[in-house]
């Protein structure tokens, strides 16, 4: 199994309640730093759609 390079937003600092992302040849993996075994896999297109929706404020409360 390939070693994944997990990254989290710089705003998280040393916090342990952050989203983490790993880019692979097959797509994008996302997880919570609180539950590192709970990984979701997105295609590149799904990842782009998710990022666009976040930037557009679709998930703002």
Confidence of residue 3 (pLDDT cuts 50, 70, 90): confident
User: Domain segments of the chain: what residues?
Assistant: 10-55
Q: What is the overall mean pLDDT for the chain?
A: 92
pLDDT at 47: 96
Contact between 30 and 19 under an 8 Å Cβ cutoff? The reply is: yes
C-alpha distances out from residue 47 to 4, 14, 39, 42, Å: 17, 25, 14, 6
25-46 tens-digit pLDDT: 999 999 999 998 999 999 999 9
């Amino acid at each position: 199994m390939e070693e994944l390079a997990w990254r989290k937003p710089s705003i998280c600092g040393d916090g342990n309640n952050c989203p983490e992302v790993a880019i692979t040849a097959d797509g994008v993996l996302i997880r919570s730093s609180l539950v590192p075994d709970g990984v979701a896999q997105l295609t590149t297109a799904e990842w782009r759609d998710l990022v666009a929706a976040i930037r557009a404020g679709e998930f703002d409360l």
